[in-house]
Amino acid sequence: MPVDARKSSVARKVRSLGGQLIRRWGLVPAGTPDGVGEDENLVGRPWPFEVMVYFADTTEAIYQIEQWYRVFESLDAEHRVVVVTRDSRTARSIRDGSMLEVRTIARAETLDDILGRSKTKLILYVNHNPENFGALRFGNLLHVSLMHGDSDKIVTVSNQTKAYDFSFVAGRAAVERMARYATLFDADERCIPVGRPQLDEQAREREAVTLSRPTDDRPTVLYAPTWEGGQPSAAYGSVATHGAAIVRAILDDGRFRLIYRPHPLTGVRDAAYGDGDSTIRDLIRRAQDELPEVGHTVDGDGDLAVAFGHADVLICDVSGVAMDWLATGQPLIVTLPTADVVVARSALTDLVPRLPAGDMDGLPNLVARELDEDPTGAERRALQEFYLGDTTPGASTRRFIEACERLFRIRDTEVARVAIGELPGEKSVEPRETND
């Protein structure tokens, strides 16, 4: 072998060894999967899982799958579920927070080997990570986008949705939103309303929290903004533009308790959001020192249902938080973005009060009016089924499981058709159920 070739070979081996050590020592930069897989123990063996949840992110995005834990556990009780990650740290976090089976797969060929031997029929995705294409390439399985909340953000009508065979959505509102804003996409055919199964668990937790609320009788305002977004067109967050002014207005007025619940990714892309978050926390810290009995607080962890259970009115941005709050039947105020973002106009955002940046002098009286009179309450409650489907506890989880089972049958029919070389429509297949 020529000298230059030997040097190149040695260099590759050194880089490979260095990469392995960096991964093993946990020194991989945040946001990059560590690639520490269980491949050696998985190759050559089938697994018993009918459903695979593919989550290629690192722990910074764990909140996106956390809200699905209880739902996936309910599905697993009837049809075995496995979560596949590309990061061992993410896998540990999921195991710590759930009862789900988790496997970390670093190499593409490992997934080929396993799925070629196993009875997996369905792959579920909770986000649009580009790494999802590592699993989307399998044509003998059905691929379903779940996402991690329903909202009027542009991501809910993203062209990326077309990559999946179907999308499970909350209610008829999501289907109509996709039909209105997505080009060349048959929303009625490919969107399946299942409700918000997360709300089944949230309703129980919210009721328990409500029964144990503080004795101080002042109403509670929950300010739960979203983050700055991954790109300017999705900058719906208010922390940098509205946040400090909202918090000052509520604290200075004195009639309300304030809970601030920032998005987990606040400040990761835009330093102005990190600065705004710090200012808000400082304001609340001073208020806590001056009036500890009131209970102003920053809610940085835990289930959203706990914050919902303590709150009487919500101030939030265009986000999935607004949709989930709709199930409570309580007043809602939504901020008006200052950036040039795309908002899918909807019945809810047209109905509720919108809060622009700038002068917040009138905010406390607006909050008081919403609490005392709730002028849009009847109309909001009438929209619950349109946005969320049947909110009877347990109904959405059951509908989710039944939708998965229906897709099992559709997948089996399609695989059989392809195996004998039929064209679509040459034989009758199971009709799609209506979602009205």
Higher per-residue pLDDT: 69 or 22: 69
Q: What does the pLDDT read at residue 413? A: 95
Higher per-residue pLDDT: 234 or 160: 160
Which conformational region is residue 229 in: left (phi greater than 0), alpha (psi within -120 to 50 degrees), or beta? Answer: left
Q: What does the pLDDT read at residue 230? A: 82
The mean pLDDT of 150-175, rounded to a whole number, is 92
Tokens of 417: 């058709």
Residue 278 has pLDDT above 70, yes or no: yes
Which conformational region is residue 147 in: left (phi greater than 0), alpha (psi within -120 to 50 degrees), or beta? Answer: left
* Rounded Cα gap, residues 430 and 413, in angstroms: 8
Q: What does the pLDDT read at residue 155? A: 79
* CB 384 within 8 Å of CB 172: no
The mean pLDDT of 186-205, rounded to a whole number, is 88
What is the band of 99 on the pLDDT scale with cuts at 50, 70, 90?
very high
Give the closest residue to 52 by CA, choosing from 81, 92, 74: 81
Give the closest residue to 236 by CA, choosing from 246, 226, 223, 244: 226
Q: What does the pLDDT read at residue 132? A: 96
Kindly provide the b/e burial profile for residues 116-136, where b requires at least 16 CB atoms within 10 angstroms of the residue's own CB: eebebbbbbbbbbbeebebbb
Lowest mean pLDDT among 98-107, 146-155, 198-207: 198-207
Lowest mean pLDDT among 143-147, 173-177, 263-267, 303-307: 303-307
- From the number of C-beta atoms within 10 Å of its C-beta (0-12, 13-18, 19+), residue 323 rates as buried
CATH T-level fold of 11-197: Rossmann fold (3.40.50)
Helix 69-76 with 395-419: angle, nearest 10 deg = 60
Give the closest residue to 343 by CA, choosing from 322, 324, 367, 319: 319
* Rounded Cα gap, residues 407 and 166, in angstroms: 9
Q: What does the pLDDT read at residue 211? A: 52
Lowest mean pLDDT among 19-23, 290-294, 403-407: 19-23
Give the closest residue to 262 by CA, choosing from 232, 297, 227: 227
* CB 185 within 8 Å of CB 161: yes
Q: What does the pLDDT read at residue 402? A: 98
Higher per-residue pLDDT: 207 or 184: 184
Residue 23 has pLDDT above 50, yes or no: no
Q: Which helix (H) or strand (E) holds 305?
A: helix 304-310
* Rounded Cα gap, residues 225 and 237, in angstroms: 6
The CATH number of 200-388, from 1.10.3720.10, 3.40.190.10, 3.40.50.2000, 1.10.10.10, is 3.40.50.2000
Tokens of 414: 């399609």
* Rounded Cα gap, residues 303 and 163, in angstroms: 31
Residue 77 has pLDDT above 90, yes or no: yes
Q: What does the pLDDT read at residue 30? A: 60
* Rounded Cα gap, residues 399 and 389, in angstroms: 10
Q: What does the pLDDT read at residue 400? A: 98
* CB 284 within 8 Å of CB 317: no
Q: What does the pLDDT read at residue 229? A: 87
**Hey, is 122 helix, strand or coil?**
strand
Taken as a whole, the chain contains a residue count of 436
* Rounded Cα gap, residues 151 and 334, in angstroms: 12
> Where do the CATH 3.40.50.11720 domains begin and end in the chain?
11-197
The mean pLDDT of 109-134, rounded to a whole number, is 96
Average pLDDT, the chain: 89
Lowest mean pLDDT among 1-15, 306-320, 363-377, 398-412: 1-15
